[in-house]
Chains A and B, each alone.
Chain A
């Protein structure tokens, strides 16, 4: 089985721009969770999608949003980028919301 894939792997943007990251889960997995990893804050939960519905959201501003498609692929969007949004963004998929999460390779976002 193919693992979780994320595109793009690296991204450089400037302040004020917006960005969309994509995540394709393991085949058959319906839950996708997103995390932000920074040296200062560590790994923080952004949100979880299951069957195209956002079921949980972390403590992030409204600039961070996401969606899930009928094939379980998910996208997250960050609008009006700030320097502090520079991070590794990881997505994880699981069969159900309470099952073990398997992570993708991440997208490294640098905001200049």
Chain B
């Protein structure tokens, strides 16, 4: 079974509008972390935001916020006021606890976001 599911292969958004990228996850581990990364066409993965499973509040980093719904196992990324430079591939990733998962991120398939002027 997929541990991280991103159901939107591609999305368009108008410049200056907000956009939500979906991510659902599957784990039985009570301790886990959720991450969002941005990958421009150059290939480098850029860290955007992190949410821990025990965090009570949704994480925010500038124009990025993470809509964390633990019961539904979803961790959607919200980008406010989209900019042309936001056009990229976005990956949701999870880190589970336990020694067998040390240093390991599990990634979804990604969502390609295109911002229209």
A binds B: yes
Binding site for B on A (CB under 8 A): 31, 33, 35, 42-43, 45, 47-50, 55-56, 58, 88, 90, 92, 94, 97-98, 100-106, 108
Determine, out of B18-26, B39-47, B69-77, B80-88, the stretch whose residues face the partner at the interface: B39-47
CA distance A19 to B47 in the complex (A): 28
Interface contacts (Cβ under 8 Å), in number, total 65
Judged by a CB distance under 8 angstroms, whether B106 is at the interface is: yes
* Most-contacted residue by chain A among B33, B103, B104, B105 (CB, 10 A): B103
By secondary structure, the B interface counts as mixed
- Chain B interface size, under 10 / 10 to 19 / 20 to 34 / 35 or more: 20 to 34
Task: Give Cα distance in the complex from A56 to B106, angstroms.
Answer: 13
Shortest distance between the CB of B63 and any CB in chain A (Å): 19
Contact between A45 and B102, CB atoms less than 8 A apart? no
Q: B91–A43 contact, CB under 8 A? A: yes
Residue of A nearest to B109 (CB): A42
- B104 / chain A contacts, CB cutoff of 8 Å: 33, 45, 48, 56, 58
* CA distance in complex: A47, B104 (Å): 8
Given contacts A42-B110, A56-B100, contact A101 B105 (CB under 8 A): yes
